Amino acid sequence: MTEKYTVIDFFGAPGGLSFGFEMAGFKSIGALDIFKAGMETYQFNFPDSKILIEDIKKVSVQDLKKEFGISKENIDIVIGGPPCQGFSTIGRVKIASLARNGTWKLNNHHPRFIDDPRNELYKEFIRMVKGLKPKIVVMENVPGMMSYRNGEIVREIIEDFNSIGYTAQARILNAVEYGVPQLRKRIFFIAVRKDLKIKILWPEPTHTYSNSNSMSSIGPLFKKKKLKPAVTVWEAIGDLPSPVPGKPKLADVALNYDKEPFSEYQKWARQGSKEVHNHITRQHNERDIKVFSLMKEGEKWKDLPEEIRKSYGYRDDIFNDKFKKLKRDEPSWTVVAHLYKDGYMYIHPVEARTITVREAARLQSFPDTFIFKGSRTDQFKQVGNAVPPLLAKAVALCVKKMLENIK
């Protein structure tokens, strides 16, 4: 048996990126994140990996090596998705203002992305990469970086990798093109240590979604390979049993499968699992249940009768997507972290309720063997923030080929 390539995951909770790499044959040896519940999930699903629940700014490279048992040159891959809060237009305007009034000193009058104080976590990620010197780095983030100021931020990040000895490229990938039942675009950066002199590889799409122009920016599709149709919401969750009614502080309970899987995706999701976890509904009042029942699949808040909208008191111009009912025969729209607050953007397509953590996890391509820890609110937050494992696996398989090409 060949030794597995090793991975360290920064901002790793709950483990979507790591799980994708493990499905591709890698081994996670350590993960760091400040989110306690998310790291409890990580530890449960990666029992052989060491975890560190800490603020990355307080951890030195030497301390990390000692904590994770890393010796010189034995780390293959560093992965992670550092939050980049200063990326927004508002953020850029703010730092320019601070520079003008002298509150924040710059070497020039053109503020760089990395210099925004709110991007400390990104800078810490770069610091760790510089200290650990992995062969390859995979970083993911929000896709808006690619379009902002004609790609200025992306160029700056590539320059930052270049300054610490790496050649880097960036691509926007859409999860739906890799078997995830969800339209979810993310930007990925792959950086390779310059001394290795290997070509950066990107995954070919395996699935297509005909109702969207959402194909990834990796160039023309490979005509020799026939693409599968996108996985739909019902192909993802239609076999799950009726969930347990929501109760305060109830975070998990094991349920038996009571239906046979009827899609390849469901068979994959259930492989190795004997029961369903994290499948508890939120509590809904009678008015919500009535409205959910009236809505047709795909309908939004703006489609509701005016008298119903007025009874809630929300502004139509702000809460256009306050209610949104999933369609069975389409992939889901993007599952976001805000899901933990109310979830009304993810109303079940058949039952008069919002989706459960397990259903959200299925839409993110977590198999049923992957169990989430913490409160139900924490679980929703973890699912919404995660990288879809099947998307991560597609990237990881390319990284594996790259490592095998090292002479």
What is the set of active-site residues? 84
Q: How far is CA 126 from CA 57, 95, 116, in A?
A: 12, 21, 14
SS3 of 202-246: the string is CCCCCEECCCCCCCCCCCCCCCCCCCEECCCHHHHHCCCCCCECC
Query: CA nearest 279: which of 366, 182, 172?
Result: 366
Query: 3-state class of 76 per DSSP?
Result: coil
What crossing angle do the helices spanning 120-132 and 152-163 adopt, rounded to 10°? 30
């200290």: which residue's tokens? 131
Which DSSP symbol is given to 390? H
The amino acid sitting at 346 is Y
Asked if residue 17 lies in contact with residue 190, where contact means CB atoms within 8 angstroms, the answer is: no
Scored b (16 or more CB within 10 A) or e, 98-111 reads: bbeeeebeeeeeeb
Both tokens of residue 25?
């044959």
Asked if residue 335 lies in contact with residue 360, where contact means CB atoms within 8 angstroms, the answer is: yes
The amino acid sitting at 26 is F
Q: How far is CA 370 from CA 151, 170, 345, in A?
A: 36, 29, 24
């390849």: which residue's tokens? 264
